[in-house]
């Protein structure tokens, strides 16, 4: 990882009086986004302190241990903690007093009783920073929030900050993907900053000097636009997935193959091949809750076309889970009761152990609740899945998971699962029936190895 100090900035403001020095950074909230952001900013050469209210998380991170699976993050964290540029604390006053720029990286989950985002963590984080300020500061929101949140937080900041302190709040949404979080943070496609004064923009141009020098566009805009860029990006990706899943339904009805169709569509540079994999649909900690929060917010603002569109996107997506449950039931002869089902994959996508709103785990659990004996194998997510659904069976290998089964389901397209030897696996099952819910298996090869093969939007044998 490059280890070069950030360029010194020139300014006449009070914060920078401490400073022709590079700004010192705090990261408030060290979950997925915050832990990655903190390590990446330290790798860019800044002095960084990560704050979290959870002392166990702080203790683990201080030892360079990431409490979740994210390729490359462990190494980066260890390297940066050892360099002395990165430390963690559960003392917010310490984090705030030792930094000039504060990145708010806390979660905005879906509310338990509505589609709206729960903003209590963001509110608490901004309040905690505000109340502990000892000098001028820049607060930078990175969490995904409904449009209008940042403006409300500015009011809160003005009320809570000590008299005489100049504190500015801007929004700088984060677009990182799980499984590629380090790469996405160090080399973002774009840097979006909303509501920044000249001084704030100068500070953030210093922070992001390296990605911008590499070619990432720096887009400075107003607060609501910055907030909306993030949720619109996720809404577009979700819409693209539900579009191809709707077309997969047409393919099935017409005897066409959606995987070939998606490749052909993808060659059109206006469309592109990414996010056109038909299958079990999207899940995870972001896309589902973000489109629901946007649906809710658009409705509040009277923008009903967006709400209706996203409602359809959500319905198509959730319908894919029902579709796979129905296919598994049909494969078992009309009822899954006491049937043995082998499930390959529990994570919401490959390269993560995250099972939040995982379509794979959701389908596995639904089949279990209908009386099937479900055995799950996932290369990384078995522990997180077990914590969520302890009553499912968990196998130590794909071979163990398919042992004696009536049907096998591929629900997360981990490369090692896609590459499994179809012939060897067929011999282990009671009946060699497979449902490829991710459109990634070679249907011809699996059929040749003796499997009865079904896929979403694929041509029946």
User: Which positions are annotated as active-site residues?
Assistant: 286
Nearer to ligand UDX, 19 or 68 (CB): 68
Residue 22 Cβ, how far from ligand UDX at the closest point, in Å? 26
Tell me the site size for ligand UDX, rule CB under 6 A.
19
Within 125-184, the residues that bind ligand UDX by CB under 6 A are: 175-178
H-type alpha helices, 72-180: 73-83, 92-97, 120-132, 149-160
The window from 247-255, 269-277, 336-344, 396-404 that contacts ligand UDX (CB under 6 A) reads: 269-277
Among 136, 277, 378, 436, binds ligand UDX (CB under 6 A): 277
Beginning with the edge strand found earlier in the chain, give each strand of the sheet holding 407-410 in spatial order.
393-394, 373-377, 340-344, 407-410, 433-436, 452-455
Nearer to ligand UDX, 289 or 297 (CB): 289
> Residues 437, 276: contact at Cβ < 8 Å?
no
Among 145, 150, 287, 407, binds ligand UDX (CB under 6 A): 287
Give the residue carrying structure tokens 């260890």.
78
User: Residue 196, exposed/middle/buried by CB under 10 A (0-12, 13-18, 19+)?
Assistant: buried
241 binds ligand UDX (CB under 6 A): yes
Q: Quote helix, strand, coil % in the chain, to nearest 5.
A: 45, 15, 40
Nearer to ligand UDX, 58 or 262 (CB): 262
Angle at which helices 223-254 and 149-160 pack, to 10 degrees? 150
Residue 63 Cβ, how far from ligand UDX at the closest point, in Å? 26
Nearer to ligand UDX, 348 or 377 (CB): 348
Contacts of 151 (CB under 8 A, 6+ apart): 223, 224
353 binds ligand UDX (CB under 6 A): no
282 binds ligand UDX (CB under 6 A): yes
Among 29, 31, 283, 457, binds ligand UDX (CB under 6 A): 283
Dist. CA 285–CA 181, nearest whole Å: 14
Contacts of 444 (CB under 8 A, 6+ apart): none
Nearer to ligand UDX, 52 or 351 (CB): 351
410 binds ligand UDX (CB under 6 A): no
Contacts of 174 (CB under 8 A, 6+ apart): 33, 37, 105, 142, 143, 144, 185, 230
Angle at which helices 304-331 and 359-369 pack, to 10 degrees? 50
243 binds ligand UDX (CB under 6 A): no
The window from 49-57, 163-171, 279-287, 378-386 that contacts ligand UDX (CB under 6 A) reads: 279-287
377 binds ligand UDX (CB under 6 A): no
Q: What is the DSSP letter of 17?
A: G
Residue 377 Cβ, how far from ligand UDX at the closest point, in Å? 18
The window from 8-16, 112-120, 275-283, 323-331 that contacts ligand UDX (CB under 6 A) reads: 275-283
Residue 202 Cβ, how far from ligand UDX at the closest point, in Å? 26
**In terms of DSSP bridges, do strands 393-394 and 218-221 run parallel, antiparallel, or are they unpaired?**
unpaired
> Where would I find the beta strands (DSSP E) of 132-227?
137-141, 167-171, 191-194, 218-221
Dist. CA 430–CA 403, nearest whole Å: 8
Among 281, 342, 345, 457, binds ligand UDX (CB under 6 A): 281
237 binds ligand UDX (CB under 6 A): yes
**In terms of DSSP bridges, do strands 25-28 and 101-104 run parallel, antiparallel, or are they unpaired?**
parallel
Question: CA neighbours within 13 Å on the CB side: how many for 66?
Answer: 26
Among 13, 15, 26, 234, binds ligand UDX (CB under 6 A): 234
Partners of 253 in the beta sheet?
A: none
Nearer to ligand UDX, 183 or 431 (CB): 183
Among 208, 348, 389, 394, binds ligand UDX (CB under 6 A): 348
101 binds ligand UDX (CB under 6 A): no
199 binds ligand UDX (CB under 6 A): no
Interface with ligand UDX (CB under 6 A): 175-178, 234, 237, 241, 275-277, 279, 281-284, 286-287, 348-349
């Amino acid at each position: 990882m490059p280890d070069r100090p950030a360029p010194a900035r020139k300014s006449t403001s009070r914060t920078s009086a401490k400073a022709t020095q590079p700004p010192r950074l705090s990261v408030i909230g060290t979950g997925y986004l915050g832990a990655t952001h903190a390590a990446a900013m330290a790798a860019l050469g800044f002095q960084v302190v990560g704050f979290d209210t959870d002392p166990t998380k702080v203790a683990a991170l201080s030892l360079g241990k990431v409490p979740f699976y994210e390729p490359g993050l462990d190494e980066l964290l260890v390297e940066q903690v050892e360099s002395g540029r990165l430390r963690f604390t559960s003392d917010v006053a310490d984090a705030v007093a030792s930094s000039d720029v504060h990145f708010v990286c806390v979660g905005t989950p879906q509310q338990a009783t509505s589609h709206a985002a729960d903003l209590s963590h963001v509110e608490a984080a901004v309040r905690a920073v505000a109340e502990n300020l000892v000098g001028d500061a820049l607060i930078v929101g990175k969490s995904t929030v409904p449009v209008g949140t940042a403006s409300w937080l500015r009011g809160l900041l003005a009320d809570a900050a000590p008299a005489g302190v100049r504190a500015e709040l801007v929004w700088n949404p984060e677009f990182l993907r799980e499984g590629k979080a380090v790469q996405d943070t160090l080399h973002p496609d774009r840097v979006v900053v909303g509501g920044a004064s000249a001084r704030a923009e100068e500070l953030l141009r210093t922070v992001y000097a390296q990605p911008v020098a590499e070619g990432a566009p720096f887009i400075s805009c107003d607060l609501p636009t910055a907030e909306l860029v993030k949720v619109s990006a996720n809404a577009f990706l979700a819409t693209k997935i539900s579009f191809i899943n709707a077309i997969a339904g047409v393919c099935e009805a017409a005897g066409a193959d959606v995987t070939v169709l998606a490749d052909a569509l993808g060659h059109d540079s206006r469309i592109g091949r990414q996010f056109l994999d038909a299958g079990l649909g999207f899940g995870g900690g972001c896309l589902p809750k973000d489109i629901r929060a946007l649906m809710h917010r658009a409705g509040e603002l009277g923008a009903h076309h967006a709400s209706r569109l996203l409602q359809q996107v959500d319905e198509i997506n959730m319908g894919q889970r029902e579709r796979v449950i129905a296919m598994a039931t049909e494969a078992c002869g009309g009822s899954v009761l006491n049937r043995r089902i082998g499930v390959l994959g529990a994570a919401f996508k490959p390269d993560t152990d995250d099972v939040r709103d995982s379509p794979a785990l959701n389908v596995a659990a639904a089949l279990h609740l209908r009386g099937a004996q479900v055995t799950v194998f996932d290369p990384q997510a078995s522990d997180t899945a077990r914590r969520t659904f302890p009553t499912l069976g968990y196998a130590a290998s794909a071979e163990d998971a398919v042992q004696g089964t009536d049907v096998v389901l591929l629900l997360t397209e981990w490369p090692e699962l896609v590459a499994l030897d179809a012939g060897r696996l067929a011999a282990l099952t009671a009946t060699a029936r497979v449902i490829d819910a991710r459109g990634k298996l070679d249907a011809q090869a699996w059929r040749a190895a003796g499997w009865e093969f079904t896929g979403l939007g694929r041509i029946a044998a």
